Amino acid sequence: MRYGQRLMALAALLVAISVASEASAGSRPLPAIGGPGSSWSNRSVSIETIVEFGNNPQPVTIVENSSINIARVIEIGTGTVDATIVQNGTRNYVNVIQVGNTTNALIGQSGVSNIADITQVGNTTNALLLQIGDMNTGAVRQFGRFNWLSIFQFGR
């Protein structure tokens, strides 16, 4: 049974990573510090913040591989808003706030301590959360007519 869970988690993580690399091709480059987004990273800590407003915000893709990973995404638009975040480290933290007609969030975290907080407001809200680690915490709030959510949490 334990082997099956690990295999399922590995498959879901591979899907998340493949989607992240495909989506990054269409994402815009990260702006300078102090702009609508900021980024700071070394081997120990990665911090990324992206804020987008407008009619058709670009898809956001964040991949972090430091010991401590922190990502925050705020997207407010009239069309579709997409965020894909993949974190591999000891401690991972994600905060996503999305407002749009259709909101999509894909989050994959692998580490000892994983925390994810997702808030979505829109006609259609979609969220996929995968956490692999010993201490996993996930909170999802969806306000819309058509809500879809899938959470996978696995211990090591």
- Give the closest residue to 152 by CA, choosing from 86, 107, 89, 111: 107
* Buried b or exposed e, range 57-72, using 16+ CB within 10 angstroms: bebbbbbbebbbbbbb
pTM value is 0.77
pLDDT tens for residues 56-92? 889 999 999 999 999 999 999 999 999 999 999 999 9
pLDDT tens for residues 44-54? 999 999 999 99
Q: How far apart are CA 25 and CA 19, in angstroms?
A: 10
